[in-house]
Amino acid sequence: MSEHSDSPLCVLILAAGKGTRMKSSLAKVLHPLGAKPLLWHVIESAKTLNPAQIIVVYGHEGQALQAAFNNENITWVHQVAQQGTGDAVKSALPFIKDEHQVCILYGDVPLIQPQTLARLIAKTSQNTMGLLTANVDNPKGLGRIIRNAKQQVLRIVEEKDADELERAITEINTGIFLLQATSLKRWIAKLTNHNAQQEYYLTDIVQFAVEENVIVNTIYPQDLHEIMGINDKSQLAQLERYYQRQQAEKLMQAGVTMADPNRFDLRGSLQIERDVFIDVNSVFEGENQLGEGCHIGPNCMLINCKLGKGVVILANSHLEDAVVGDFSRIGPFARLRPGAQLGQNTHIGNYVEIKNATIGEGSKINHLSYIGDTLMGKDVNIGAGTITCNYDGANKHQTIIEDEVHIGSDTQLIAPIRVGKGATIGAGSTLNKDVPSYQLTLTHRLEPRSSDWQRPRKHKPLEDGK
């Protein structure tokens, strides 16, 4: 057998199917898998082959599709009416150069692996056709591979056109082909729709190849998930779980300890150092970084966060666009909103919300507080229920809390305001002026109004006759 073809590669991705069974107004190939569109996964795999051209055949939602991939160098082809896979390829033919070798992929088969495609390319010469097939337990609905006694591929028969014997075959067509553009063009021109579905079947090109004595070379994928197509939400969920498990597997290989890799979701990228522990049901979105020895408790959500060494995030915390310094302790039930910048050894406790605020080293906000638009120094202690009133209804104002300030419970700081170094604020204070350093400041201390005041008592029920 000769070497692989030296022709430049054209990847042709079919994505014109309507996706009716998704029951959604979103184009099928834009549904997310690991937070990226199905089609994105196919394009990423295709790009590893350094193709000269990538063509996507679409049928619906052309604008949404092109907008989702406007950074990619893609030739978009509109298949006006969906008359079958052969017709989809036909619509792309005018854009395919004769000297190219064409690899046909599907926009709704997202997990096709680069290694499998590379193997297909390596095994397919200029004069042969490459075909990815698989042996499956339940071939229902799929095209079957018909071979002769010498095990050479003769043709593909669709389920609806197959007789009983053919339907018993478990080797199926994945739909992924590799062949020279000139051959493809010649064979597509010969297609008819004289079949059970009155569609133009791409699969008929196999028998045209055989008629011209072109050998059809088959290879198998490494894993059946690679060739799984998405038609409905159930299949989407199934593949999502598989994909997440693969990501978890990679992270565990890199040293992460997981309480349960089946209850882990990564929707983006996760950079980790040694000895990270991740408890169940945490979701990582966007780009997150976890330093050495970080501990992520159950049910946490992290979106674009950077955690230093030894950071502990306790259960049910929500962190977004936050930076957390080494050995800090967050949660349970804490919320870090965008712009939260925490120094080392900070403590953020339950029902505390931090937004656009810098919290200095060793400062503690342990209970029920809102700290927004704030610059806080080191070793500050914020009592329960303290609120920075940063919003006057029109504009946001800044609060500055200098080092070693101690704020009593239920304090409102009406911004703009500065609390001087080492100040102590008595519980229940509402302050709208700068607070002096190293002094006790407090407001609203109530004095008894009169000494003969009595607490109201319940009336006794009236007795009869009175």
* Binding site feature residues for Mg(2+): 108, 231
Is residue 201 part of the contact set for ligand UD1 (CB under 6 A)? yes
* Number of other residues whose CB lies within 10 A of the CB of residue 94: 8
Q: Catalytic site residue 367? A: yes
Is residue 218 part of the contact set for ligand UD1 (CB under 6 A)? no
Is residue 226 part of the contact set for ligand UD1 (CB under 6 A)? no
Annotated binding site for acetyl-CoA: 384, 390-391, 409, 427
Closest to 19 measured CA to CA, from 29, 4, 34: 29
Is residue 14 part of the contact set for ligand UD1 (CB under 6 A)? yes
Nearer to ligand UD1, 14 or 384 (CB): 14
Is residue 175 part of the contact set for ligand UD1 (CB under 6 A)? yes
Catalytic residue (one of 100, 194, 367, 444): 367
DSSP classification of residue 114: H
* Number of other residues whose CB lies within 10 A of the CB of residue 415: 21
Q: How many Å separate Cα 317 from the centre of its chain?
A: 19
Residue with tokens 């075909």: 131
Annotated binding site: 14-17, 28, 79, 84-85, 106-108, 143, 158, 173, 231, 337, 355, 370, 381, 384, 390-391, 409, 427
CA torsion sign for 204, 205, 207, 211 is: positive
Contacts for 320 with CB less than 8 Å, ≥ 6 apart? 301, 302, 303, 304, 305, 336, 337, 338
- Region of 46-54, 101-109, 145-153, 271-279 interacting with ligand UD1 (CB under 6 A): 101-109
Determine whether 33 is exposed, middle or buried from the number of CB atoms within 10 Å of its CB (0-12, 13-18, 19+): buried
Is residue 110 part of the contact set for ligand UD1 (CB under 6 A)? no
Looking at residues 53 to 72 of the shown chain, list those that interact with ligand UD1 (rule: CB under 6 A): 57
Is residue 79 part of the contact set for ligand UD1 (CB under 6 A)? yes
Closest to 254 measured CA to CA, from 274, 240, 283: 274
Nearer to ligand UD1, 222 or 271 (CB): 222
Q: How many Å separate Cα 462 from the centre of its chain?
A: 69
Residue with tokens 């990423």: 44
Task: Give the whole-angstrom CA distance, residue 153 versus residue 145.
Answer: 7
Is residue 302 part of the contact set for ligand UD1 (CB under 6 A)? no
- Residue 133's alpha-carbon distances to 13, 136, 174, 203, 220, in angstroms, are 18, 10, 5, 12, 5
- Region of 105-113, 254-262, 362-370, 426-434 interacting with ligand UD1 (CB under 6 A): 105-113
Choice from 173, 218, 399, 412 touching ligand UD1 (CB under 6 A): 173
Is residue 172 part of the contact set for ligand UD1 (CB under 6 A)? yes
Choice from 43, 55, 87, 425 touching ligand UD1 (CB under 6 A): 87
Task: Give the whole-angstrom CA distance, residue 196 versus residue 189.
Answer: 20
Choice from 143, 297, 349, 372 touching ligand UD1 (CB under 6 A): 143
Is residue 107 part of the contact set for ligand UD1 (CB under 6 A)? yes
Is residue 46 part of the contact set for ligand UD1 (CB under 6 A)? no
Annotated binding site for UDP-N-acetyl-alpha-D-glucosamine: 14-17, 28, 79, 84-85, 106-108, 143, 158, 173, 231, 337, 355, 370, 381
DSSP classification of residue 226: G
Choice from 142, 153, 314, 330 touching ligand UD1 (CB under 6 A): 142
Contacts for 466 with CB less than 8 Å, ≥ 6 apart? none
Nearer to ligand UD1, 16 or 415 (CB): 16
Closest to 80 measured CA to CA, from 92, 68, 96, 69: 92
Is residue 210 part of the contact set for ligand UD1 (CB under 6 A)? no
Residues labelled as active-site residues: 367
